[in-house]
Amino acid sequence: MPVKFTRDILVVDEDYSIYEVINNCFIHDNVMVHWAKNKSQALNVKIDMNIILCATPLNGEDSYDLLADLGHRHPNAAMFMLPLDYSSYNAFNARNAGGLGAFFKPLRYASLESRLQEFLGYTTSGNLDQVSIPSRTEQIAKLISFQTSSPIVEDIEGIVREVLPVVVEQVLRIQLQNNSALREIIEREVHEALGKEIDSILLNVSNKPSDKS
C-alpha cells in the first residue's frame, strides 16, 4: 500500500483563532489543517483525517457524540478534545467516544506541536517524508508509552491552579455545615480580621487632613 504523503488534521471549533494556532504548527510541513466551525461542517468533510481535534463546548452541541460520529467516519484518526477549561471536559465520555486525550485551552504551541507530530508519523529527526501513518493500535500504544507527557496531563500545573480553589471551596463548605467547632473558629477569625480592617480605615480617615481653610 502506498504511503500517504500528506497528513490531514481536522479542527472543529467555532473559534477560528484555534484553527490558526494549530495550522501555524505545520505551516512548513506537508500537513493540511482543515477547519469546521460546527457539527454540520465537520460531518461533511470527505477527506480521511489523521487527527481530529474537537472543541468542548461547541455551539451548544454534544461534542462527545460528534467525536463518536467522526470516529466512525475516520476510523484511523487520532482524536482529541479541545476543552475550554477543566470543568468542560469529561474524560470518561471522551474515552467512550474514541478520544485519546485533551489539549486544554489556551493551547501551548510547543507541546501541541510535539504531541501531534507523534500521531502523524514523524521520525525523531522531525522528518515526515516516506513515514507511514501510525495505525489505531499504534496510536493507543503511543499514548500509553508517553503517558507522562500526554496532553491529558501536560498542563497539570495549570489544571491544578484552576481546579484547586473550586475543590477547596467545596470541601470548606461541607466542613462548615458539619463541623460547628470549625465554623466558630472561622467566624471568630473573620470577625477579628474585619475589626482590624475597620479600625485601620477609621484611623486613616481621622488622620486625613481637613480640606477646610
pLDDT tops 80 at residue 41: yes
pLDDT tops 90 at residue 106: no
CA angle 145, 148, 150 (to 5 degrees): 80
Write out the three cell numbers for 82.
479541545
Region 92-103: what's the mean pLDDT?
Answer: 87
pLDDT tops 90 at residue 185: no
Map grid coordinates 484553527 to a residue: 19
**CA separation for the pair 51, 69 (Å, rounded):** 14
**pTM, rounded to two decimals:** 0.60
Q: What value does the mean pLDDT of the chain take?
A: 75
- Predicted confidence band of residue 144 (pLDDT cuts 50, 70, 90): very low
Q: Quick one: pLDDT at residue 152?
A: 44
Tell me the HSE value of 5 on the side-chain side, using a 13 A CA sphere.
3
